[in-house]
Chains A and B, each alone.
Chain A
Amino acid sequence: MDSALVIEIVDHHGRDPDRLMEIIRDLRLHQYDLPDPVIEQVAERLGLALDQVRAAAVAPILKKRGRPKGKKNKPKLISEPKPKVSVAPRVILRKRPKPEPSLETAAESRPPVPAEAEEPAPTPPAPPPATEEKIAPPAIAAVSEPPMPERRAEVDSTRRYPEMTEPKRSADPTVGPLLEKAKQDGAETAFDRAMEGQKAICQYGANGVCCRLCAMGPCRISLKEGKGAERGVCGATANTIAARNFCRMIAAGAAAHSDHARAVADTFILAAKGEIPGFQIKDEQKLYQLALDLGIAIGDRSVKEIAIEVGEKCLAEFGRQEGELLLVKRAPLKRQEIWRKLGMTPRGIDREVVEMMHRTHMGVDQDYRNLILQGSRTSLADGWGGSMISTELQDIMFGTPQPIASEINLGVLKADEVNIIVHGHEPLLSEMVVVASRDPELLAFAKEKGAKGINLAGICCTANEILMRHGIPIAGNFLQQELAIVTGAVDAMVVDVQCIMENLAEISKCYHTKLITTNYRAKIIGAEHIQFEEHDAINTAKKIVRTAIENYPRRDPKKVSIPQEKSDMVVGFSHETINYLLGGLFRASYRPLNDNIINGRIRGIAGVVGCNNVRTEHDSAHLAMIKELLKNDVIVLTTGCAAMACGKAGLLTPEAAKQYCGPGLAEVCETVGIPPVLHMGACVDNSRILIAATAVVKEGGLGDDISDLPAAGAAPEWMSEKAIAIGQYFVASGVFTVFGVTFPIMGAPQVRDHLFSELEGMVGGKWAFEPDPVKGAKLMIEHIDKKRKALGIDKARERVLYDMAMRREME
């Protein structure tokens, strides 16, 4: 971008520092990323600190316009230039927002409603301070922590949340070329839809202040204080509406994990009874472990007897009406006390989800704090209930993950073999597909059809499950599901539940790929349905593999383009394996980890998890955040699609320690022989992170509760309701948790205060929203340092070598 144009744009806005966001927006119309020289010029011309402009340049901006093509297509600048104003710095946070005509017009045109008595009147903006102090723009300021009362007033006067900017597409080199190929093949992907049909994002929805819970609505609350509707038809405030929406997301996420767990428990009981060939009790030791947790006698009883009782007791947790979920007892004692005192301990998994749905029905719970309390309880029923049950039972049936090497990215597809992709979440069918793909008869059939073999690969969390237990390679994460088909080399994509894009059916039509749904709960129009029958699992799997083989000759070689890229990785770090690796079989222990945290070689622990989101550059935020954490000696635990992003970027190898870590963490990783980023599994396996954190607490020396640990969590590219449920159970378990991309309560100032600040006083954990991943990492590190300080381990202790004289003196 040439300097003259930068000056022209800045001048057009009257060199007004208050118009920074508009200036940035206009500059961005010419270039997606603002390079440093442009930022420097803007800062200089507006008399603002470089950091402030940089923050604004990466923050989401308010209004999106089409990206002009070519230089001729200059942004349409406002016709009446503003008079030039003083360039004295102002506090941008306090500035009253400019009206958003496209949004407000709609809100204002609704029937007038009585003025709201409950919410505080907007506080007039404070006069700009005479000092040089500058505060970051709203999106960034959401995570800053001034004292509550003032902040609430400020938030009230800026009740809006900026729109997302046009994202770059991906940090993964396979994505760009495949999107080009898709265009040539006439195939449309999520990347196209996000930038075309779904480009405009409804700000009411994004900010959580749209309610459609009853037929008197939909109601939308104004995003601008004092202008437009302050209440829904029934009188619901922005806070009630946003809290209800948020809690419904938690309920949906918890239901998804838990219904998955229920299916696993059902299958587990059948397997224990020996009624379904192919499934068995593979990890006997884990069975005993769970039996002890559930209070089941072991003695001389047979494995079958114990397993049946374990399965039935787990299944009963879903319908439990009173008392406490049994696995809650695994949490640190202090944590259990906190939950009990707050009335947050989950009673039964289904009960909490149903109660949450009831309380968010029109006209029931209308106190945002009370709603979020039940939201926490519901999320705990997921993290310490449904998710944990599915992890444990899957481990018993299929094996507890142990370190295993494999490969990741679309380069794992093979040009001369039948490629089958399993995608979704439940490992029940995919485990059987693994067995079927090695069946000699089917391998012979594949050869008969001209293929050299059968190549199985995974996408999303099903991929993580079979990767960790069998080393089956991963083709890609969430945003690569359509692109796998675009390679033209996938003969069948087999899906079960969750995170499956409906467009797979459409995009398959452009190629020869067979999309096969397998679960009665998740059908897609246009797909072939082969129902997975537990009682005949292996034959269902064989039928699927056979269908893929039969489809192989239909592959059009002209349409095949498999990317070269694939990376090595080592995965399978269940909490049991970490414990073993740190101490060996006879002295397994978290002690070395605790000691290295105490002595400062490891600064802290971070859990970076979650999805991909097409509204932000694919994989980029995961990688930027994790690299920043590693550089600062923070060890990273990861699951889900975040783990896959790490795998593709080479972070899941022990060699990554040398390349990316600070000296302390690198030394520890090298000594133990582990990667600095530990792949702990699928999204339901976030429960493994809870247990690992508990083990660190119980080992001693780092406080008595998860909230005492120098640890933090994040989901920088989240998109699913499950991610919100996970985030909430991390927060309710005492973890500071940062989410990126967007956050669905930003239009509700009091809910925002509650989640971002007040909760910390109650449960020890809190939320933060920060779209910039490096800033997000810095917030996590700040939190880790705060905890180190509270533990008294913030200063590196001087090491003294005692000679004999000094020793004698001590005695």
Chain B
Amino acid sequence: MNKILRVNMTDLSSKLETVPAAWAGLGGRGLTSTIVAAEVPPTCHALGPNNKLVFAPGLLTGTPAANSGRLSAGAKSPLTGTIKESNAGGTAAQMLARLDIKALIIEGIPQKADTWYSLHVSMAGVTIQEETELIGKWNFDVIEAVEARLGKKTGLLTIGPAGEMKMTAANISVKDPDSKLRSHGRGGLGAVMGSKKIKFISIDDAGAPKVPIADPEKFKTAARTFAKALLEHPVSGEGLPTYGTNVLVNILNEAGGLPTQNFKVGQFAGADKISGETMHDTIAARGGKVKHGCHAGCIIQCSQVYNDKDGKYVTSGFEYETIWGLGADCCIDNLDDIARADSIMDDIGIDSIETAVMFGVAMEAGILSFGDSKEMLRILSEEIGKGTPLGRILGGGAGSVGKAYGVTRVPVVKNQGIPAYDPRSVKGIGITYATSTMGADHTAGYAIATNILNVGGYVDPLKKEGQVELSRNLQIATAAVDSTGMCIFIAFPALDIPECLPALIDMINARFGIALTGDDVINLGKHILKVERQFNIEAGFNNTHDRLPEFFSTETVAPHNAIWDFSDAEIDEFWNF
């Protein structure tokens, strides 16, 4: 059981391989990072023939375990030059798991420079077809056309024009159960898919059996305990389904950690207008959906359906980081325009976090004014969507526009945009930004939980004490959780409810008939981080890249006048495990 599906785009061939013993216990990020580290030369060009794009469902994906339907995508990132894993919901992960595909590896680049392809994965294996009709099309048109061709239930991974043009902020979009999109957002993986000339990957799991479970009784018991913990915890059981992740706007604003006007200050005068509370009331009043899951089996349902004032659908999966970035960081307090921008970003296939951070820098550069949401919307569809010269600079992300326009306040680490939480006033997340193997990535070690939200204890966000250890523990645990197929929001109950994590481990054990302990899982997390770091070292990175941009150490941030004051040696302690 369990196969690796390998597609070679150079000679347009494919084969099914048995899973090597060393990969058998891995899934999700653990597997994509292991494969990338084993098979991709770290110094290769991320958009050249030697990079590989790897998709892997998690260890529990396809089972009835709550919130286990996430798909990991991995490659060398064209944005950061580091290894990259980015995971997303949608229907593809569960379909691949049912098809018994542990990983889909795409390698090589077609010889004909102007020919595009699509892949179709089913019980019969994979077919590689030339694609002409949908080239240049935006994502929602691709969904419509593919559903018309292959049926409504077809799973879909697709790139928009940003990915086709190999913009380094391009994402890979995944169709969700309502034919809308979720994204493998970060690190420009859409450009890697574009470099391989694959417009979309369709998936048909008709005829696929259920995912086998070695010990169904044990699994059932553990799954029940796990689901109970998710529903019992106030964050996953009540806060997220009611307000979505955007509940964070107000609390970060109050705590002075909401980066505003391209990270100039830590509070935004218009915060209330873009807050989760306002969004909740707006959605309810307009007949949208307050809660919504990005995949079948999600019981937290942090997503939502946001309508315009006439009750017409605008966007879903409308996340805090996007709203923060286009809102506070760009000084825009018009939630409807932010929602429209979110939808355009989905449609052209560009990372909403990188692009939001980019707009803050673009505004500082004077390309448009702070607060000008109409010009932002125009730029998204007319410049980036159409790939004008300006659009290509902007589509390269925050670092790209910063360089092109000589801006010095450019919030990136390893060239990836810093999201949503000011590292000066929330210092634990600063350590994560600095040290993550992925470049600036809040999900890699979400110190906000303990710095701001009182989840998993409390470490004072304004002090240095305890932050390195906090970030280290979180990054290790996250690497392990990212391998299970679980949505990272299960971390909230897992940090607070003692039965939650053992139940997760029991489910893995029952699924495979193995006997992992808590220590094994921690060791897996450590191992994954070390594999990723080794790849980065061989790609030319060292500890001097584990640093925040200079301005964080020279400019204080209001209201607490906080500054980034970690010494190099203190940051480097992170890797001492």
Q: Do A and B come together as binding partners? A: no
